[in-house]
Amino acid sequence: MKIPELLCPAGNLDSLDAALHFGADAVYGGMKHYGLRAFAGNFDREGLREAVKRAHGAKARFYVTMNIYPFDDEMEGFVFAAREAAEAGADAAIVSDPGAIRLLRREVPELPVHVSTQANTVNTPAAEMYREMGCERVILAREVSLERIRKMKQALGDSIQLETFVHGASCMAYSGRCMLSAYLTGRSGNRGECTQPCRWQYSVVEEKRPGVYFPVAEDERGTYLFSARDLCLMPILPELCEAGVSSLKIEGRMKGEYYVAVVTGAYRKALDLLSEDPEAFRRALPELTAELRCASHRDSDTGFLLGNPETPGEAEGFHQEREYAARVLGKDEKTGKIRLLLKNRFFAGEEMELMTRRGILKVTVDRMIREKTGEEVNTLGIAGETLLVDLPPCEAGDLLRGKVRNHRE
């Protein structure tokens, strides 16, 4: 079975490092302008160079998101930014607008182009058009079913690569092309500033009963009128691989490093199992899906891949079964202890889990020393402090997690 590329989000350097550490084949991230995640950390000119350098150092690819729909007065800056991305060594630009694609192929031909999912590619003739324009890859709209992906691949062969989303948040609009945020808040999702009003709770007001709010579709958490469930295609990974997609994309440039680490690690393990023994993947599927629940998530389904998705009103709030406690910085040469960068409070003697590239290890931190003062502490609640602890062999980039204390809905 041919295993696709695992493509993971990099909203900032911490998330990029987590993706690379836990097995991403490629990462995607944005610059300060021209991408559709304006509120992610994103990268300035030097930051982009560093991000690409780290990706290439890990033998991974870096794709820069330039999927905004630019106006005429933005085109000059758009091309300039693309040239900077090419000079930084980016492996491709992810672009939505056909005019912007044509312009980049003419002005910056050394920078390969991937067609963003925002372009809503749902058929073979559209993919052929983008191939003729010089694009290397099309990121399919989330509305394309598994059977249609198979047929598109058969028709296109190897003339252009197909990429599909495999995990993460989904918009209730057609591949995210939504005006709801712009209408309600003045911030357009098509300009990278979505405030996610589809996740808000709504009620209906009847004209002659002002101030009386009637729920539309209610569960114990509230009413989510427009909110789609998250996407999770872990159960049908073998079918996706057999369909011939070139890349499996995890959504989440607004998510933190812990989320990126958990989801990347789970899909990396799944794809490695599939490459070795598909039956081993089947046996491990309950464990893999349980691991995905350890990061912040909402109710999920397989989207449009196997038919229409679940009823939007059934999507609840966020859940999380493990909390990020600390990141391993490496070994302290003087004491031989492991240095941890604290993220959330935990206590000495508490059973924890150590996330490594080899797997998840059950551990107990019996003693903690606050590096700043040298004092032994039972707990510490100051994120960013450094602790010295005893742990099994581990490496910089491994993560420590424990029971959920501080998760917010």
Where does residue 78 rank: exposed (0-12), middle (13-18), buried (19+ CB within 10 A)? buried
Residue whose entry in the numeric block shows the structure tokens 């933190």: 256
The dotted CATH code for 5-173+229-306 is 3.20.20.70
Q: Is the dihedral of CA 134, 140, 144, 145 positive or negative?
A: positive
CATH superfamily ID and name for 323-402: Translation factors (2.40.30.10)
| Structural domain boundaries in the chain | 5-173+229-306, 323-402
CB neighbour burial string for 3-32, b if at least 16 within 10 angstroms, e if fewer: ebbbbbbbbbbbbbbbbbbbbbbbbbbbbe
What's the CA gap between 94 and 63, in Å, rounded? 7
pTM recorded for the entire structure: 0.88
Tens of each residue's pLDDT in the chain, 409 residues: 799 999 999 999 999 999 999 999 999 999 887 765 555 567 899 999 999 999 999 999 999 999 988 999 999 999 999 999 999 999 999 999 999 999 999 999 999 999 999 899 999 999 999 999 999 999 999 889 999 999 999 999 999 999 999 999 877 665 666 767 776 777 776 666 777 777 777 777 878 888 887 666 545 555 555 667 889 999 999 999 999 999 999 999 989 999 999 999 999 999 999 999 999 999 999 999 999 999 988 888 888 899 877 655 455 567 889 999 999 999 999 999 999 999 999 999 999 999 999 999 999 999 999 999 999 999 998 999 999 999 999 999 999 999 987 654 3
**Tokens encoding 111:** 């920078």
